[in-house]
Chain A
Amino acid sequence: AQKITQTQPGMFVQEKEAVTLDCTYDTSDQSYGLFWYKQPSSGEMIFLIYQGSYDEQNATEGRYSLNFQKARKSANLVISASQLGDSAMYFCAMRGFNQGGKLIFGQGTELSVKP
């Protein structure tokens, strides 16, 4: 069975500073993908970044990067230069290669950016 664990229910960061949101996972699949989604107070789910299990380089998308450590089964999200608009819930999720439609989510981390 697959499992995602996010151990930080809430975090604070000062505007313009970097922040790391933790995510650990467990799976017996050899091929899988790891995802991060942002959910602002308006409620929609916004895709941020993706990392494949066979990708050797960490994924980056603008201010977002995914610190992927396969041996430690961790996929932490790093947000550089935090902005007030980054205040939201952040969810880590994973899916096996042959398990289309079956995203498994963590409990989420609520990030608050202070001015």
Chain B
Amino acid sequence: NAGVTQTPKFQVLKTGQSMTLQCAQDMNHEYMSWYRQDPGMGLRLIHYSVGAGITDQGEVPNGYNVSRSTTEDFPLRLLSAAPSQTSVYFCASGPGQGITEAFFGQGTRLTVV
């Protein structure tokens, strides 16, 4: 099983550019989430989805868009990149029943110059 796959692994953007971080899971999980990790701040939730067609905002949603058209995919869109969005981004997924651990992708290191 591939698990949770994020692409790209590294990206450099110029201020104002837009891009999409891809996330795909092959475990038929209902829940998918995006987090950003900044030094000293742990992981903070950006957006999450509890199923296809359903998304909601997390703690730090500004500047990001998501959609969930299929169970497998949950892309994160940066509309107009800013230096403050320089971070490491993680996608995670989890099954819908009960409380279980989240499975994480390998992360995307994004630098906005």
Let me know if B90 and A45 touch, CB within 8 A. Answer: yes
A35 to B44, CA, bound (A): 15
* Nearest 9 A/B pairs, CB to CB: A33-B99, A101-B48, A101-B31, A45-B104, A100-B31, A105-B42, A47-B101, A105-B43, A101-B33
Across chains A and B, the number of contacting residue pairs, with CB separation under 8 Å, is: 70
Let me know if B106 and A52 touch, CB within 8 A. Answer: no
B30 within 8 A of A: yes
Q: Chain A residues in contact with chain B, CB under 8 A?
A: 4, 6, 9, 31-33, 35, 37, 43-45, 47, 50, 52, 91, 93, 95, 97, 100-108
Candidates B30, B99, B101, B106; contact of A44 at CB < 8 Å: B106
Which parts of B68-113 form the interface with A (CB within 8 Å)?
88, 90, 92, 94, 96, 98-104, 106-107, 109
Residues of B contacting A107 with CB < 8 Å? 40-42
Let me know if A102 and B99 touch, CB within 8 A. Answer: no
B23 within 8 A of A: no
Let me know if A43 and B107 touch, CB within 8 A. Answer: yes
Contact of A91 with B99 at beta-carbon distance under 8 Å, contacts A101-B50, A102-B48 already known? no
Residues of B contacting A4 with CB < 8 Å? 42
B21 within 8 A of A: no
A106 to B35, CA, bound (A): 13
